[in-house]
Structure 1
Amino acid sequence: MTRTVAGVIVDALGELGVRQVFGVVGDALNPLTDAIRTTEDIEWVGCRHEEAAAFAASAQAQLTDTLGVCMGTVGPGSVHLLNGLYDAAKSHAPVLAIAGQVPLAEVGSDYFQEVDNDALFSDVAVFRATITSPDQLPQLLETAVRTALGRKGVAVLTVPGDLGERELTTDRPARFSLNPPLSRPDDEAVRRAAELLDRSERITMLVGQGARAARADVLALADRLAAPMVLTLKAKAGFEGDTNPFQVGQTGLIGNPAAASALEDADTLLLLGTDFPYRDWYPEGRNVIQVDTEATHIGRRVPVDIGLVGDTGATVRDLLGRLDAPPAGSDGARDRSHLEKSRERFDQWRERQARLADPAHDKGVVGRIRSALDNRDHDIRPEALAAVVDRVAADDAVFTSDTGMATVWLSRFVEMRGERRLIGSYNLGSMANAMPQALGVQVLDRERQVVAFCGDGGLSMLLGDLMTLKTYRLPVKLVVFDNRRLGMVKLEQEQVGLPEFGTVLDNPDFAAVAEAMGITGIRVTDPGDLDSAVRRAFAAPGPVLLDVLTNPDEIAVPAKPTVAQGWGFAVAKVKEAVRSHGDED
């Protein structure tokens, strides 16, 4: 029996377990979307922008560790995929992008809308190829899928417009044979690492998302080493909460002083499943052991004394088996003062943060003084908004967050307890990711709560795909931090002494926009209404946009604030005040 190129691709993806494909229909994709129309295995999710489609597919891949699929048609349609695919690549998410192309005979003739896809995607894709003959299937598809899954990256398969309906001469089904190997590091390297840990007095662990599957083993190792555990942002889901007595939060610009001190006070750092990129936040002159599945990650952020290339869980279990056992009858050979000191600092910092997040904070003496300086319009504190959402959201909710201040408030005030998960553009740092990523997650499971922390700048960039939420009746809860600013850029400018420029956003009433689209919209301007509004939004059926006017001058103090940053901020505020006074004249 003969089969078409489009039919083979769609049938194979269905058998692989793909349940949705995201994209915008058009010309070269017509045979593929028609094949999806006639199958019961795959749902077509028509987005308003291909970038949103790529973000949605990437989010599915990150949440499930399986293949996400998106499509873009000839020329501009494929170009629009690019930013979302870069996010997938930087997040190590296995995504297959199927790109349309002009008819095969016209390739290379500068035909209408022609773009060289193999060149376009050369930097972002771990695999890219253009189908030039039906006989290349199913092998070319198999290679694309295996490469995306095996290397945890983006594969791009380009289909010329006149090939989708062509028939294959073979009826061989696609075979993907997906069995990832479990790798272990060299025994001698593990022995040396264990010896170094045994003779170290103060050990701090920096734990990333790559260790999430080995949570129990990692906690056992932290207990054995009496080591405080600093978490990367992507490791919040899996290692945060009261069931982890070792974690002290994040470091870096969005981090806290306790985590920074835990790293500085250590004599040995143990890095597990992390490629934390910010070199300035690694202390110098420490012993460093790094565990990662990728050899290329070892030592590229900080000099490493011992690199262990292998699966985190297997490696940690090997280390546990080689560490010296406590003396018989003792309560443990290792001094726990480093851990206890770090945890005490962390608890104190959390208490201070909780006071800031109290909606009644500005009514106290300190709060009134502070408000007179940085919140004269009595806008809602973003800390308070994030804290209320944390209390109201389900313990198995999936959170997404836009790059910028929305991520800062989520990292500090939303705890990834229970089965909560977190997805964001935390490697690429793109704007506009939270809403389309939430879209991709919600369509997988319409019963699971999905919460998007949206910046007003990010939301407005891909605003059209609010209609996708409405069209597919996806009950995403969009929490908009509406500070009328590109908040992170404003902060970056001010901390180096520049007055803010180009950051002010002339926003609409986002709740009214949502209502016009058929989505429940709730606008909050009074701090006293915050709690009830959040609860109403989360109780409402279907998609909801919660538009909260937050204070644009709120400052997120980094874990290690510098004198230069403080001075720069003061200078910027003087310049802004002078400029504002001059404008009034």
Structure 2
Amino acid sequence: MNVAENLVTALADHGVTTVWGVVGDALNPVTDAIRREDRIEWIGVRHEEAAAFAAGAQAQLTGTIGVCMGTVGPGSIHLLNGLYDAKKSHVPVLAVCGQVPTEEMGSEFFQEVNNDVLFSDVSVFTHTVTSAAQMPQILEQAVNTAYAQQGVAVLTLPGDIGDSKLPDDAAPRFAPPPAEAAAPVSQIQEAAAVLADADAVTLLVGRGARESRRQVLDLAERLQAPMVLTLKAKGGLEHDNPYAVGQSGLIGNPAAAKALDDCDVLFLVGTDFPYREWLPKGKTVIQLDARAEHIGRRINVEHALVGHVGPTLGALLPQLPEKRPSGRHLDKATKAYATWHEAQQRLTDPDHDKKLLGRLRSLGDNPDKLIRPEIVAKALNDHADPDAIFTSDTGMSTVWLSRFIEFSGTRRLLGSYNLGSMANAMPQALGAQALDRSRQVIACCGDGGLMMLLGDLRTAVTYDLPATFVVFDNGRLGMVKLEQEQGGLPEFGTELDNPDIAAVAAAMGLDAVRVTDPDEVAPALQRALASGRPALLDIVTNPDEVSIPPKPKVAQAWGFAIAKSKETIESA
């Protein structure tokens, strides 16, 4: 067995089912080994960035290491953005990168780059194999480190290493994952004492609590605490949750903001929520996180719980008093959330702009009578399967998804929610669909994001990945437009001269349709989801739809008014 065969067999034995990349030179021995390994499917993308996003999506969904490949120089460089997303999402990914032959290393050979330096910031492990004798121990170290630190490992293979022979007994053995552990008893007792004396507790719950649904709901019930969910906690914690009051931050709502402002004790559970300006001031703060480095880096924390959510809450709950608080804080928050949610739902009616109030509103924010994006999100919520996987591009498409798609059942959600990259939704959907071609996968794409990696729409056709790509086609970089206008600046540089995206997708072999009538959104979506083939809906949506932040500032409103005045004058 040679080095390449050893590597591929080890990954297949470990449960890896897909490898993503672009073939070429130094990695030819590896891709040839994949060709002969029935347990692994090779998916050749059109751009290596898509490969890294897809591998990271698979790691998020399964917990098993995702694998992508890029060959010498540019091929490896193209992986970087998707790998940074994996890094900031804290998921294990192995990138196998090509290098020039060992005898040429350091000579500024054609396409040569120093991968160990290039990937030093994005990776928890990086090493260039310079001798077959280093294998398989270096592979073991790479994979084990990626799991232990939940990050990216980069293994670089020079062109003359892959074919080098190894002893027959050189079988890699990857270490098992560490067991989940509770925080120390002293920390749990200290937190319990604080919670027992609190009148109003609000929970801010993140992805780290997603697999501990029962314990988190029991905590909210015991404390009569409203629960603000981060975007990444929606899947698994939003459905059938009487304590949930939606999201905070720019995509949030007034009820969630008020629940945070009105509490005495803020309890951060499994979240590294990064937006300081949306966290309340002057509260007693408890933070529970398995990563000690996350404690206190967003807000001053008086009481730290360093441990995994499930076992820690399991130990904390018996120490809380049986007597519940009054429930006034919870009732106030949930009623405010229900009122806001009901008002938002009115915008999802395809006939909204035909009614009196809708006609008046549309004079200002939808004069061209385009489809409101809320209608699209509501249709997705109504017609997607209860176990559908959603991906979303960074920007306005994420806003509508967060507000109108409920993650009931076993629905899952992926996005570039830490890195904030464009162009992530489509390749992440490819990765999710390759895991299970019978499970419904829906990508909520911005037109700007989709156009960045447009070529990999063809990958869905080539490898029979029947994902549905829903494009919020507003001809804008919508979030940037909103940022400019709230700052008092006229819109500039955000307009997109899009082609007919549906026509382009159809030419690529997808079932594609352009939707311009709000009454056609739901029927078109139903047909796409039922097609069993890669499908794309190019839905022409209103670019002037405004996502009002939970606590709008006077300066923002004034800036928006000034920006609109400037836009009107300059277009006259």
TM-score with structure 1 setting the length:
0.97
Aligned equivalent of 2:333: 342
Q: 1:335-414 counterparts in 2 under 5 A?
A: 335-414=326-405
Q: Is the 8 A contact 1:221 1:316 kept in 2?
A: yes
Q: Deviations over 1:161-182 (max 9, x none)?
A: 1110011246231111213122
Aligned equivalent of 1:473: 464
Q: 1:363-512 counterparts in 2 under 5 A?
A: 363-512=354-503
Aligned equivalent of 2:311: 314
Deviation at 1:526, TM superposition (A): 1.3
Match of 2:293 among 291, 296, 315: 296
Query: Hey, what's the Cα distance between the residues in 1 that align with 2:536 and 2:191?
Result: 50
Q: Deviations over 1:292-342 (max 9, x none)?
A: 00000000000001000001011111110111223xxxxxx4110100110
Aligned equivalent of 2:145: 147
Query: Hey, what's the Cα distance between the residues in 1 that align with 2:458 and 2:303?
Result: 51
Match of 1:276 among 253, 261, 273: 273
Aligned equivalent of 1:323: 320
Q: 1:23-34 counterparts in 2 under 5 A?
A: 23-34=21-32
Deviation at 1:265, TM superposition (A): 0.3
Q: 1:545-560 counterparts in 2 under 5 A?
A: 545-560=536-551
Query: Hey, what's the Cα distance between the residues in 1 that align with 2:171 and 2:528?
Result: 47
Match of 1:567 among 558, 562, 565: 558
Query: Hey, what's the Cα distance between the residues in 1 that align with 2:227 and 2:295?
Result: 19
Deviation at 1:245, TM superposition (A): 0.7
Q: Is the 8 A contact 2:433 2:467 kept in 1?
A: yes
Deviation at 1:511, TM superposition (A): 0.8
Query: Hey, what's the Cα distance between the residues in 2 that align with 1:40 and 1:361?
Result: 53
Which 10-residue stretch deviates more, 357-366 or 252-261? 357-366
Query: Hey, what's the Cα distance between the residues in 2 that align with 1:301 and 1:145?
Result: 30
Amino acid aligned to 1:62: Q
Query: Hey, what's the Cα distance between the residues in 1 that align with 2:376 and 2:458?
Result: 25
- Which secondary structure state, in structure 1, belongs to the residue aligned with residue 212 of structure 2? helix
> Does residue 127 in structure 1 map to residue 118 in structure 2?
no
Q: Is the 8 A contact 2:512 2:536 kept in 1?
A: yes
Amino acid aligned to 1:363: K
Aligned equivalent of 2:188: 190
> Does residue 83 in structure 1 map to residue 81 in structure 2?
yes
Q: Deviations over 1:60-88 (max 9, x none)?
A: 00011110000000000000000000000
Deviation at 1:528, TM superposition (A): 2.2
Deviation at 1:89, TM superposition (A): 0.2
Query: Hey, what's the Cα distance between the residues in 2 that align with 1:21 and 1:222?
Result: 41
- Which secondary structure state, in structure 2, belongs to the residue aligned with residue 167 of structure 1? coil
Match of 1:6 among 4, 7, 29: 4
Amino acid aligned to 1:407: T
Gaps of 5+ in 1: 327-332
Q: Deviations over 1:7-44 (max 9, x none)?
A: 11001000010000000000001000000001111110
Deviation at 1:356, TM superposition (A): 1.2
Aligned equivalent of 2:533: 542
Aligned equivalent of 1:105: 103
> Does residue 65 in structure 1 map to residue 98 in structure 2?
no
Amino acid aligned to 1:215: R
Aligned equivalent of 1:261: 258
> Does residue 532 in structure 1 map to residue 523 in structure 2?
yes
> Does residue 249 in structure 1 map to residue 240 in structure 2?
no
- Which secondary structure state, in structure 2, belongs to the residue aligned with residue 451 of structure 1? strand
Which 10-residue stretch deviates more, 182-191 or 346-355? 182-191
- Which secondary structure state, in structure 1, belongs to the residue aligned with residue 428 of structure 2? helix
Query: Hey, what's the Cα distance between the residues in 1 that align with 2:367 and 2:10?
Result: 60
Q: Is the 8 A contact 1:485 1:552 kept in 2?
A: yes
Aligned equivalent of 2:507: 516
Number of aligned residues? 572
Query: Hey, what's the Cα distance between the residues in 2 that align with 1:53 and 1:194?
Result: 46
> Does residue 137 in structure 1 map to residue 143 in structure 2?
no
- Which secondary structure state, in structure 2, belongs to the residue aligned with residue 500 of structure 1? coil
Aligned equivalent of 2:92: 94
Q: Is the 8 A contact 1:135 1:169 kept in 2?
A: no
Q: 1:191-270 counterparts in 2 under 5 A?
A: 191-241=189-239, 243-270=240-267
Amino acid aligned to 2:184: D
Query: Hey, what's the Cα distance between the residues in 1 that align with 2:481 and 2:180?
Result: 46
Amino acid aligned to 2:69: M
Gaps of 5+ in 2: none
> Does residue 115 in structure 1 map to residue 110 in structure 2?
no
Query: Hey, what's the Cα distance between the residues in 2 that align with 1:374 and 1:218?
Result: 40
Deviation at 1:183, TM superposition (A): 2.1
Q: Is the 8 A contact 2:147 2:177 kept in 1?
A: no
Q: Deviations over 1:488-518 (max 9, x none)?
A: 0000000000001000001011111111111
Q: Is the 8 A contact 1:404 1:455 kept in 2?
A: yes
Percent identity between matched residues is 62
Query: Hey, what's the Cα distance between the residues in 1 that align with 2:515 and 2:402?
Result: 22
Query: Hey, what's the Cα distance between the residues in 2 that align with 1:442 and 1:272?
Result: 30
- Which secondary structure state, in structure 2, belongs to the residue aligned with residue 350 of structure 1? helix
Q: Deviations over 1:253-304 (max 9, x none)?
A: 0000000000000000111000000000111100000000000000000000
Structure 1 segments of 4 or more deviating over 6 A? none
Q: Is the 8 A contact 2:270 2:288 kept in 1?
A: yes
- Which secondary structure state, in structure 1, belongs to the residue aligned with residue 211 of structure 2? helix
Query: Hey, what's the Cα distance between the residues in 1 that align with 2:24 and 2:171?
Result: 27
- Which secondary structure state, in structure 2, belongs to the residue aligned with residue 559 of structure 1? coil
Q: Is the 8 A contact 2:248 2:278 kept in 1?
A: yes
